Amino acid sequence: MNTTRRIADPVQLSLSFLERVWGPSHDLDAIDELMTEDYTITTGGISITGRNEFKEWVRSFQQKLTDAITVSQETIRNESGDRVISRWICTGKNNGIFGLLADGREVTFTGIAIWSVRDNRLAACWVERSALELYQKLKHEHS
């Protein structure tokens, strides 16, 4: 018997992803449920393809930004429901993000994710985040 939950509403699908994977529980197993097997994220000009590869990318990011929490500020879907856009804020503690000294400083940055949805799962994501501004702030405050 298949006990996998299906979320028909693409907005709820994206919110569930942020809450479960980027919320306090950091439930990386939710990726198996919420993403297609060939899920691809493109961020910073780099694409990561496949659920397992994506899990490793998330795990590595969460090790560099401990206590990482991402909260949706606004979510919009297109009329057909095959695209969802989310504007979010991520907070955490610097544990070597951007290769900088791990000093435990509070970190906050913003971003936008555009997801494609296929078969009631997230299939692809394009992320733009305020990484340069965050890097400059952390680098400046450390100098």
Which residues on neighbouring strands pair with residue 83, listed in sequence order? 116
pLDDT for 4 = 47
Give the H or E element holding residue 138: helix 131-142
Which residues on neighbouring strands pair with residue 70, listed in sequence order? 90
Question: How many structural domains does the chain have?
Answer: 1
**Domain of 80, in residue numbers:** 10-142
Query: If 0-12 CB within 10 Å is exposed, 13-18 middle and 19+ buried, where does residue 117 land?
Result: buried
Whether 128 is covered by a domain: the verdict is yes
pLDDT for 136 = 86
Whether 2 is covered by a domain: the verdict is no
Whether 54 is covered by a domain: the verdict is yes
Whether 92 is covered by a domain: the verdict is yes
pLDDT for 143 = 60
Query: What is the tens place of the pLDDT at every residue in 85-118?
Result: 999 999 999 999 988 999 999 999 999 999 999 9
| 3 SS3 class | coil
β-pairing, 46-49 vs 83-94, is: unpaired
pLDDT for 1 = 42
User: CATH number for the domain including 98?
Assistant: 3.10.450.50
Radius of gyration of the chain (CA): 15
Q: Which amino acid is at 57?
A: W
pLDDT for 8 = 65
Low-confidence ranges of the chain (pLDDT < 70): 1-8, 142-143
pLDDT for 132 = 80
pLDDT for 116 = 97
